């Protein structure tokens, strides 16, 4: 095939894909066809098809999981057994159950939300911060976190605090080789849901779900190399408990642990008086990438899509 024909084929493929699949396809290219590697080695035709099939199967698995969960939870993704506590301070203090609808980013992407609004099934006053923190394409975030920023996770333990529907757990299992993936969730019904999905999709080789409050799990925190917190406290505990949880985390998170937090700690601590000095506790985490990969990622991912996800390293 000539270069011109290859370009035409590539363009045709891109035009045939939806937004999520376009990003996944480009991420596959970034991961598997790095310029410096292409110069020194080439894959056989069989190996190429094998790699593509694996990536395609990963995306199909995510879509099947989303379909399964949609059938088991209410439209807003909140179970009747959950106790939602609207915040009284901070940027989300205007979110309340009467005027704001919650939409879970894992279950519905931007396009689907817009369609729901157009069809009158959802008004445009939906919550962009409850639970999932923002209505964003789930796969974009997983690719950005696991392929764009974090180092290889072989032999590492990853902890998701407030794992709810299990979105991060499934993504970590599919997109990484982390040795252990732990979700701590205080709601028993959500833990049952996660466990059912994990068993159905044969993910229990590396995923463990713990039905406890995070304050009851200092041992898990202390042994975790990566900790993810997707706004797990603001809508579920009182202000005073929220403060105590952050103090507990600071006391137990080990030096060198990578923290992935949304919203940023700086945003949360503006209104939450924890007494914790951010600069003395954590520093921004800088990913170690090749220049070529940084340029490629910048060309395919909109930086504003992930501006509310911050990476830190514990001091």
Average pLDDT over residues 6-18: 85
Contacts 24+ apart (CB under 8 A), 48-51: none
Average pLDDT over residues 58-86: 76
CA nearest neighbour of 274 among 242, 241, 243: 243
Residue 246 and residue 227 in contact, taking contact as beta carbons nearer than 8 Å: no
In-domain check, residue 84: no
Q: What is the pTM of this model?
A: 0.71
- Ranking 31-35, 66-70, 269-273 by mean pLDDT, the lowest is 31-35
Of the spans 3-7, 115-119, 177-181, which averages the highest pLDDT?
Answer: 177-181
In-domain check, residue 218: yes
Instruction: Determine the Cα–Cα distance for residues 267 and 271; give it in Å rounded to an integer.
Output: 8
Backbone φ and ψ for 80, nearest 5 degrees, come out as -65, -25
In-domain check, residue 110: no
Residue 134 and residue 110 in contact, taking contact as beta carbons nearer than 8 Å: no
- Domain total in the chain: 1
pLDDT at 292 over 50: no
Q: The domain containing residue 298 runs over which residues?
A: 141-314
- Ranking 42-56, 153-167, 213-227, 234-248 by mean pLDDT, the lowest is 42-56
Mean pLDDT of the chain: 76
Residue 201 and residue 209 in contact, taking contact as beta carbons nearer than 8 Å: no
CATH (domain of 254): 3.40.50.150
Residue 235 CB-half CA count within 13 A: 23
Whole-angstrom Cα Rg for the chain: 20
In-domain check, residue 1: no
The pLDDT, as a whole number, for residue 125 is: 43
In-domain check, residue 308: yes
CB neighbours of residue 47 within 10 Å: 11
Residue 165 and residue 194 in contact, taking contact as beta carbons nearer than 8 Å: yes
Q: Could you tell me the pLDDT band of residue 114, with boundaries at 50, 70 and 90?
A: low
Crossing angle for the helix pair 19-32 and 291-300, nearest 10 degrees? Answer: 170
pLDDT at 68 over 60: yes
In-domain check, residue 180: yes
The pLDDT, as a whole number, for residue 97 is: 54
In-domain check, residue 45: no
In-domain check, residue 117: no
Distances (CA, A) of 120 to 73, 99, 105, 116: 20, 16, 19, 6
């Amino acid at each position: 095939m000539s270069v011109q024909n290859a370009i035409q084929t590539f363009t045709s493929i891109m035009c045939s894909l939806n937004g999520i699949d376009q990003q996944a396809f480009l991420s596959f290219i970034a991961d598997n066809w790095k310029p410096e590697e292409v110069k020194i080695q080439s894959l056989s035709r069989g190996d190429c098809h094998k790699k593509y099939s694996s990536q395609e199967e990963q995306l199909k698995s995510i879509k099947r999981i989303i379909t399964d969960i949609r059938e088991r939870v209410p439209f807003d993704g909140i179970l009747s057994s959950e106790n939602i506590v609207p915040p009284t301070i901070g940027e989300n203090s205007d979110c309340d159950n009467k005027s704001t609808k919650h939409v879970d980013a894992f279950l519905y992407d931007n396009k689907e939300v817009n369609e729901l609004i157009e069809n009158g099934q959802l008004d445009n006053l939906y919550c962009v911060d409850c639970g999932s923190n923002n209505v964003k394409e789930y796969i974009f975030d997983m690719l950005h976190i696991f392929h764009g920023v974090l180092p290889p996770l072989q032999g590492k333990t990853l902890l998701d605090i407030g794992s709810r529907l299990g979105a991060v757990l499934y993504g970590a299992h599919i997109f990484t080789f982390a040795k252990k993936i732990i979700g701590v969730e205080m709601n028993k019904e959500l833990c049952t849901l996660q466990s059912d999905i994990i068993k159905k999709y044969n993910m229990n080789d590396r995923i463990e779900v713990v039905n406890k409050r995070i304050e009851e799990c200092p041992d898990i925190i202390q042994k975790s190399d990566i900790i993810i917190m997707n706004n797990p406290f603001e809508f579920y505990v009182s202000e005073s408990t929220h403060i105590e949880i952050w103090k507990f985390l600071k006391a137990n998170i080990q030096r060198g642990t990578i923290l992935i937090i949304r919203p940023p700690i700086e945003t949360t601590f503006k209104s939450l008086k924890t007494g914790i000095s951010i600069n003395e506790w954590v520093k921004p985490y800088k990913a170690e990438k090749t220049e070529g990969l940084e340029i490629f990622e910048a060309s395919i991912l909109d930086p504003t899509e992930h501006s509310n996800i911050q990476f830190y390293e514990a001091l």
